[in-house]
Amino acid sequence: MHVRMTTSRSGFDVTPLPADRVTALATDFSPDERQVILHQGTERTFCGLLLDNKQPGVYVCRLCGLPLFKSDAKFESGTGWPSFFQAFDPDHVAELTDMSHGMMRVEIRCKRCDAHLGHVVQRRSAAHPQALLPELGLDAVRGRRSAAGAA
């Protein structure tokens, strides 16, 4: 396994985390959170957790704290999930083709720890033809809390 450090355009270390580190970070998660974030389940019980959050700030990966979305890229998509029209840094979000459930969708994952974030959805809106829909893999960081300080 190579350990070469990878840095994103916005200056964050996005070197993929080893599996044992991911497991250690997930120890406080509930079984439902584990199912969604580590095993690509779809959020149901936690629906709406961040949907109505209108606080300015940065949304970070629940697992490793990497900044993923800014609140000023959040918009109301009518899907029931918090939606963003762009990532904090394209280097922080990986897009993978997901063929599960008889559909071809694009899954989004944290580039650093591989946590499942949600899916990319094509919208009809001309302003935001493509939406990134994180389901549960996000923490809201408000006010002065920095991404590094989010525990």
Position 64 contacts Zn ion (CB under 5 A): yes
Closer to Zn ion by Cβ: residue 63 or 108? 63
Strand partners, 75: 83
Position 115 contacts Zn ion (CB under 5 A): yes
Strand partners, 58: 70, 141
Closer to Zn ion by Cβ: residue 38 or 61? 61
- C-alpha dihedral (3, 39, 145, 130), degrees to nearest 10: 100
Position 113 contacts Zn ion (CB under 5 A): yes
**Closest CA relative to residue 133, chosen from 98, 34, 24, 9:** 98
Closer to Zn ion by Cβ: residue 112 or 123? 112
Which residues are at the interface with Zn ion (CB under 5 A)?
61, 63-64, 66, 110, 112-113, 115
